[in-house]
Amino acid sequence: MTSSETEQTDEQNATPTPGTDGLTDSADDWSADQSTDDRTIIEARDLDVYYGDEQALQSVDVAIPEKRVTAMIGPSGCGKSTFLRSINRMNDLIDAARVEGELLFDGKNVYDDDVDPVALRRKIGMVFQSPNPFPKSIYDNVAYGLEVQGKTDDVDEKVHRALERAALLDEVEDQLDESGLELSGGQQQRLCIARAIAPDPEVLLMDEPASALDPVATSQIEDLIEELAEDYTVVIVTHNMQQAARISDRTAVFLTGGELVEFDDTTKIFENPESQRVEDYITGKFG
């Protein structure tokens, strides 16, 4: 088990609690639709993250476009999960973690004192490496996220829609009352995606969502991610470079020391990167 697997326990047990609709009382128009092509939705400015004395991310600057798939790649321990968790403040749940610099979501620094992390996580959902359905029915797994947020209107319709968007409805329509734990690994991961999108977030963070799955289930998740990017911004960490090349529009390459070395269109990163270190990593000379 890797350190990142053990540290998931806290995250996976983190249950959302009711929050406000915006992140703050005064954030009513926060998610006003300003969509244009490649509008930036998430931006890190000089972001440092430390665990105690150890620095895990160093001066990360990056602008992530809305409704695109952005992949984060790099060798083990380079800070990919740390970066992902800094976006929706999941690092808050790790006592030793400390964040410096800015992480803007829709132009607002999520580390400002007036931001409610629970409300933030409603807008920025997360899917983890190992599928982690609750020991509840398929239906209740998806309804859960709506109920804790007090979204009790049209639950039935929203559950069905989320399962449909997660490309799972056809397979489970007749067994919604059965346990989510009885599904296959790939189905469980799609159930977790349905649970994450049911409250209608804007961003979906995925930390190696297919690494525990077989090739068929992996390919279904990849297809799904590309479809989801029509409606959501997807930020995905993957160890699989072919996967990053297949499904992402942009790729960020982190290298040892927590440095974001290059961020660009995925084709550029894989065909003609600026940095020799990135080229060496991509071509398998190290990492």
Ligand X SMILES: Nc1ncnc2c1ncn2[C@@H]1O[C@H](COP(=O)(O)OP(=O)(O)OP(=O)(O)O)[C@@H](O)[C@H]1O
Q: What does the binding site for Mg ion look like in residue numbers (CB under 5 A)?
A: 4, 81
Q: Does 50 bind ligand X (CB under 6 A)?
A: no
Which long-range contacts (C-beta less than 8 Å, at least 24 apart) are formed by 56-62?
Answer: 56/82, 56/258, 57/82, 57/83, 57/86, 57/258, 57/260, 58/257, 58/258, 58/259, 59/101, 59/259, 60/101, 60/258, 60/259, 60/260, 61/260, 62/252, 62/260, 62/263
Q: How many chain residues are in contact with ligand X, going by CB under 6 A?
A: 16
Beta bridge partners of 179: 137
Of 82 and 233, nearer to ligand X (C-beta) is 82
Residue 129 binds which one of Mg ion, ligand X, none, with CB within 5 to 8 A depending on kind?
A: none
Token code pair at residue 281? 């990593």
How many residues are given for the chain? 287
Residue 147 binds which one of ligand X, Mg ion, none, with CB within 5 to 8 A depending on kind?
A: none
Q: Does 79 bind ligand X (CB under 6 A)?
A: yes
8 Å CB contact between 136 and 144? yes
Of 81 and 187, nearer to Mg ion (C-beta) is 81
CB of 234 to ligand X, least distance (A): 17
Residues 92-131 that bind ligand X (CB under 6 A): 94, 96
Q: Which of 16, 65, 77, 185 is close enough to bind ligand X by CB under 6 A?
A: 77
Q: Which of 41, 42, 62, 81 is close enough to bind ligand X by CB under 6 A?
A: 81
CB of 82 to Mg ion, least distance (A): 8
The three-class DSSP label of residue 179 is strand
Q: Does 59 bind ligand X (CB under 6 A)?
A: no
User: Which of 79-87, 134-142, 197-205, 264-272 is the region at the interface with ligand X (rule: CB under 6 A)?
Assistant: 79-87
CB of 159 to ligand X, least distance (A): 32
Token code pair at residue 51? 């665990």
Torsion (CA) 116, 117, 118, 123 in degrees, nearest 10? 100
CB atoms within 10 A of CB 155: 15
Pairing assessment for the beta strands 40-51 and 97-105 based on DSSP bridges? antiparallel
User: Which of 21-29, 72-80, 98-106, 160-168 is the region at the interface with ligand X (rule: CB under 6 A)?
Assistant: 72-80
CB of 4 to ligand X, least distance (A): 4
Q: Which of 80, 108, 122, 190 is close enough to bind ligand X by CB under 6 A?
A: 80
Residue 281 carries which side chain, given as an amino acid letter?
Y
Per CB under 6 A, residues contacting ligand X are: 2-4, 7, 51, 56, 74, 76-82, 94, 96
